[in-house]
Amino acid sequence: MPTSSIDWTAVRAASGFRLAIPRTPIGGRLGERLGAGTGSSLEFQDYRPYAPGDDLRHVDWAAYARSETLAVRLYREEVAPRIDLVIDVSRSMAVTDAKHRAYGQLLGVLACASTNTAAHTRIVTTAAAAPHPLQVPEDIERFLDCGAGHSALEESHLPLRRRSLRIVVSDFLFPHDADDLVLRLARDCALLSLVQLTLRDEAEPAAAGGHRLVDVEGKGELDLVLDAAAVREYRARFSRLRLGLSVAARRVGARFAYVVAETPVRDVARGLAAAGVLEAA
């Protein structure tokens, strides 16, 4: 198994981003961000008739003067957003050293962005284990082992919180129905962001002659001559997979970003920002 090594220097150099927060209200504990419910922020939300017990400070006396009706001003609540960072720790994310290294860099960028967001961030790797809080970006290194036999995304009941920001990072190279998968991940969330990471060779393989293709997650092996026709067919299938994810994400208002391994970190961060996953801090 390749060892993890995140170039934190490069990552921090490119970490002038935070997670993009949606304009729609989000859920969370008391914090700096506007919430979905009524609260005590300074942002006006609505009026409602006065009821005994209401705080008299919120009575709109000017409106009473005009209409002789007691009305109470309502304000939006302020919350700290919840972030669920769902990462794929299956062996496919470390099929080569380059992919594993690129995965580490990508997670480093996202971890930095999460901490820059002043949010309560949890790392979700599997449905079987409790999520882990992310205090500092370096905490992400504990999850780069990538030894699982399957991706967490293939599990049906991940411990995701309601109205949370969800960032899902994977290569998505497992058999799936994109609409079902994305719909499941987006259920009850404030914003879903999908980040797909693959090697360039996984997206655009070259004709390489006969090979025994062995699935790194033990899902079989196949003797195949990688000729032009086979490669062409593979590329078409991969494109359909990536396009399916993108379309499914758009249908639910999610963001989708595609990252090719061995892309410089800065370019990765910019790409994520361009896709709406990150925003300038």
What residues line the site for other proteins (CB under 8 A)?
Answer: 92-93, 95-96, 99, 171, 173-175, 198, 202, 208, 210-225, 229-230, 233-234, 237-238, 241
How far apart are CB 191 and other proteins at their closest, in Å? 27
If the CB atoms of residues 127 and 208 are measured against other proteins, the closer one turns out to be 208
If the CB atoms of residues 70 and 230 are measured against other proteins, the closer one turns out to be 230
Answer for the pair 194, 249: CB distance below 8 angstroms, yes or no: yes
Helix (H, G, I), strand (E, B) or coil at 130: coil
Q: Is 45 exposed, middle or buried (0-12, 13-18, 19+ CB in 10 A)?
A: middle
If the CB atoms of residues 84 and 171 are measured against other proteins, the closer one turns out to be 171
How far apart are CB 203 and other proteins at their closest, in Å? 10
If the CB atoms of residues 128 and 222 are measured against other proteins, the closer one turns out to be 222
If the CB atoms of residues 118 and 229 are measured against other proteins, the closer one turns out to be 229
Crossing angle for the helix pair 178-186 and 228-251, to the nearest 10 degrees: 30
Query: In the Cβ-directed half-sphere of 192, how many Cα atoms lie within 13 Å?
Result: 24
Q: Taking Cα atoms as reference points, which of 233, 260, 235, 257 lies closest to residue 245?
A: 257
User: For tokens 């058999």, what's the residue?
Assistant: 175
How far apart are CB 128 and other proteins at their closest, in Å? 22
If the CB atoms of residues 37 and 218 are measured against other proteins, the closer one turns out to be 218
How far apart are CB 98 and other proteins at their closest, in Å? 12
Query: For residue 207, what are the CA distances in angstroms to 4, 98, 230, 237?
Result: 30, 20, 8, 16
How far apart are CB 177 and other proteins at their closest, in Å? 13
How far apart are CB 227 and other proteins at their closest, in Å? 9
Taking the CA atoms of 11, 17, 123 and 240 in sequence, report the sign of the dihedral they define: negative
Amino acid at residue number 161: R
Q: What does DSSP assign to residue 148?
A: B
**Cα–Cα dist 169/108, whole Å:** 12
